[in-house]
Amino acid sequence: MDQRTELSEFLRSRRARLRPADVGLPDYGGRRRVPGLRREELAQLAGVSTAYYVRLEQGHGESVSSAVLDAVARALRLDAAEHEHLRRLTGPVRRRPGRVRAVRPQQVRPELQQLLDVMEGVPAYVLGRRLDVLAWNRLGNSVIGDIAALPPEQRNIAWQVFLDPAARELYQDWEGKANDLVGMLRLDAGRDPDDPRLASLIGELSVKSADFRRLWAAHDVLDKGHGVKELHHPVVGGLTLRYETFRPSGDPDQVLVTYHAAPGSSSAESLRLLASWIATGPTVPTGPAGDGEPSAVPESAPQPDFGS
């Protein structure tokens, strides 16, 4: 990812979504040549000269002060994730042309895998950089579509959602899920623009998915958080699940994702039935605690073919 190009396109996309009325500026009518605020209007809101802001929007952000960045962020109405993304894009250019940096595989601590395994009634998995699925428990594997059945290089939530047709059946709000994942990938790209695996993933998704290309062009960014997902599971049908994300201490690039249903709800009963079905069926390995290869633990319950 070219850091200056990314900065330029990100600022233009954030400016384009604002209208004068959104920020308390008068709209004198007439056709505007560009969507959203003009550069001079944004500069006025941020308290900088138009020339200064134009240079920033052209991708020259290396010497911009924190105070100016904060002012621009306020003027653009950026949220916390977008503000972080802007700060990273205006940092020193880290790209080294002609050199490919080796990326060490992420590892999940054995204790974290053990925690996943004992959470028998809670679907859970661990995401790493670029949304790679690093580990999971049996119920988590079933709920998200049998990641264990995929080859290691395809154990990635974004790959699954955009390139596996079964994902469109699994996620009731597929568009919302896809948009969230693209925002997370964009945030990862700002954090590490020289990650060759991330570049390869974005390239593959861009070539193979028109939906990914459309959403990627929006330049939205999003951090992992909490919320509700509506799923259509091939075994138990509709599920309304709340999800929470946690960052394990000492592992800032890993996120533990858990799902649960509201107590007493039909989804809670369906989740209980799914857990029982898994516990009494044939077997698949639990999540790998290491480099993404299948672990040597005894096989537990199999998953149905979800088309993943």
Residue 5 has φ and ψ, to the nearest 5°, of: -65, -40
H or E element in which residue 84 lies:
helix 80-89
List residues bridging with 133 in a β-sheet: 127
Degrees (nearest 5) of the Cα angle 182, 201, 124?
Answer: 65
Looking at residue 63, what is its pLDDT? 82
Select the highest-mean-pLDDT range: 46-55, 248-257, 277-286.
46-55
Band the pLDDT of 299: cuts 50, 70, 90. Answer: very low
Band the pLDDT of 137: cuts 50, 70, 90. Answer: very high
Ranges in the chain annotated CATH 1.10.260.40: 3-89
| Per-residue pLDDT at 304 exceeds 60 | no
| Nearest residue to 223 (alpha-carbon basis) of 248, 188, 257, 268 | 188
Q: 83 to each of 21, 72, 236, 240, how far by Cα in Å?
A: 22, 9, 41, 31
| Per-residue pLDDT at 197 exceeds 50 | yes
Which comes out higher in pLDDT, residue 21 or 99?
Answer: 21
Q: How far apart are CA 64 and CA 80, in angstroms?
A: 19
To the nearest 10°, the Cα dihedral for 145, 150, 153, 155?
20
The count of other CB atoms within 10 Å of the CB of residue 241 is 22
Which comes out higher in pLDDT, residue 105 or 261?
Answer: 261
| Nearest residue to 36 (alpha-carbon basis) of 59, 13, 70 | 13
CATH superfamily label, 3-89: lambda repressor-like DNA-binding domains (1.10.260.40)
Mean model confidence pLDDT for the chain: 86
User: Which fold does the domain 110-280 belong to in CATH?
Assistant: Beta-Lactamase (3.30.450)
Which pTM was predicted?
Answer: 0.83
Q: How far apart are the first and last CA of the chain?
A: 29
| Per-residue pLDDT at 240 exceeds 90 | yes
Ranges in the chain annotated CATH 3.30.450.180: 110-280
The count of other CB atoms within 10 Å of the CB of residue 60 is 15
Token pair 């395809």 is at which residue? 154
The count of other CB atoms within 10 Å of the CB of residue 161 is 25
